[in-house]
Structure 1
Amino acid sequence: MDSMAVQEFCRTLFNMRPDITLSLAQTIFLGDTRHILGLVTLPCHIIQGMKDLAVPVAVSEYLHQNLGGESIVEVVATEGHLPQLSSPDILIPVLLKHIRYGIAEL
């Protein structure tokens, strides 16, 4: 968590105006789009961190079960909510694999 990317993200986050921070938090935590998941018919690759305190693994399983098209879930051995910042060495190979292959090939 001490990477330059994480430090920069935190610096940016803590420098946001309070009114914008509140609006963003309300959008994230109060928005509920479960009713439209069935309308998503494109294949979806759901990549979930194993130890994400903000989004537990059960959420990715819920998405997988309720999307309208094909989907696949891969749980990766990362901690935290932003693995692209905290664990890029783990996440990048997984992303590349999902970019290269279709759901049926994984």
Structure 2
Amino acid sequence: MVVGGDMESPAVQEFSSTLFNMRPDIAWSVFQTIVQSDLWDVLGRVTVPCHILQSTKDLAVPVVVSEYLHQHLGSKSVVEVMPSEGHLQQLSYPDIVIPVLPRHIRNDIVA
């Protein structure tokens, strides 16, 4: 559910396989680290321009989070919400993500 998209795609299948092959104690430790990490207070200290690419439907990180990042980063940023689902849209929707990347790599963020 978190990955979203085509569950039969090779990239999603490989990612799922990797997760299921992880020792449960290690998987639990990684999960706890992710959900208990709170770095919201350091956003204002970010000094590099940020391109925030967001899927329209992400169970792990909803669109409101990307907007919050955009408003609270200490640098210029842009948000692009792509018509995709899931937290790992590069795996589940590469046909949407790949064309977007060069534009963000080429273009500087303007105030």
Normalization by structure 2: what TM-score?
0.91
Q: Relative contact order (C-alpha < 8 Å, sep 6+): which is higher?
A: 2
Task: State the aligned residue count.
Answer: 105
CA drift at 1:53 = 1.1
Is it true that 1:37 corresponds to 2:43 in the alignment? Answer: yes
Is it true that 1:89 corresponds to 2:80 in the alignment? Answer: no
Name the counterpart of 1:77: 83
Name the counterpart of 1:5: 11
Name the counterpart of 1:14: 20
Q: What does the per-residue CA deviation read over 1:38-79, in whole Å, with 9 as the maximum and x for residues that have no partner?
A: 110100000000011111000000100110010110100001
User: How many percent identity over aligned positions?
Assistant: 64
Is it true that 1:66 corresponds to 2:72 in the alignment? Answer: yes
Name stretches of at least 5 consecutive residues in structure 1 with no aligned partner. none
What's the Cα RMSD here?
1.1
Greater than 4 Å deviation, 4+ residue runs: none
Q: 1 CA distance for matches of 2:49 and 2:95?
A: 25
Normalization by structure 1: what TM-score?
0.95
